[in-house]
Structure 1
Amino acid sequence: MKRIALYDGKCSLCKESKKIFQKLDVLNQVEWISLQQYNEENGECDFHPVELRKELHLLLPSGKALKGFFAVRSVLLRSPYSFVFALPLYIPFVHLIGSPIYRWIAKNRHKFLKRKCDDGSCSL
């Protein structure tokens, strides 16, 4: 079973990030599904909808879920093109810096990219 990345399909930054990660994923390790599509196909999931919109969720074959910074570093580790960038993210205590940076970017995502969300879907 592949890892499943749940992202906000209405967010411009999330969609652009997904495109980049998919290009890096030459081994096809991660299946990207918008949380909106996932909810339609699977009914309500175990995660609160607001939490799903706040950060990337990576569902592992074991049933465990990684969120935010931990999900991103796991996705980066799966690609031969990006695993070198992922390795420093596994140094002990790096998550103490990485998680707040991830949350700040996610919280301010409507400010990134020139195409802002016209309908307000990027704001949390």
Structure 2
Amino acid sequence: MKDIVLYDQNCRFCKATKRVFERLDWMHVIDWRPLQEADDMGFSQEALMHEIHLITPDGSAKKGFFAIRRMLLRFPLTGLIGLIMYLPFLKPAGRFGYSVVADNRTCDIRKKK
């Protein structure tokens, strides 16, 4: 079963990230969908613009660092990296690193604080 990943199709950084992950997805386990077309997914557009969202086949949602970690775990070439990212002491660093990247994207249309 495939995971669904919602990405910003209007963001160059997001599209470049998608292209990299698509190259790693040899088993075709990810179904990429633009967040602009995700009205029926149950997430607000503001939440979707803030961080990447991944919906698992069982319907649970992973956001931000946790979505990236799950994708890396599912790809053959990066599976070990994904597994290492599940070590408890790496969770705070991963969340922080993801937030730094997400908060500094220059190609989004989020409302600036």
TM-score of the two chains, using structure 1 as the length reference: 0.83
Q: How many residues align?
A: 110
1:71 to 53, 64, 67: 67
Q: What residue is the counterpart of 1:35 in the other structure?
A: 35
Name whichever of 19-28 and 80-89 sits farther off.
80-89
Q: What residue is the counterpart of 2:22 in the other structure?
A: 22
Contact 1:109–1:123 (CA<8 Å) still a contact in 2? no
Percent of residue pairs identical? 40
- In 2, distance between residues paired with 1:37 and 1:52? 11
Alignment RMSD (CA, Å): 1.2
Moved over 4 A (4+): none
Letter in structure 2 aligned against 1:99: R
Which consecutive unaligned segments of at least 5 residues does structure 1 have? 111-116
Alignment of 1:86 onto 2:76: no
Q: What residue is the counterpart of 1:114 in the other structure?
A: none
Which consecutive unaligned segments of at least 5 residues does structure 2 have? none
- In 2, distance between residues paired with 1:4 and 1:34? 10
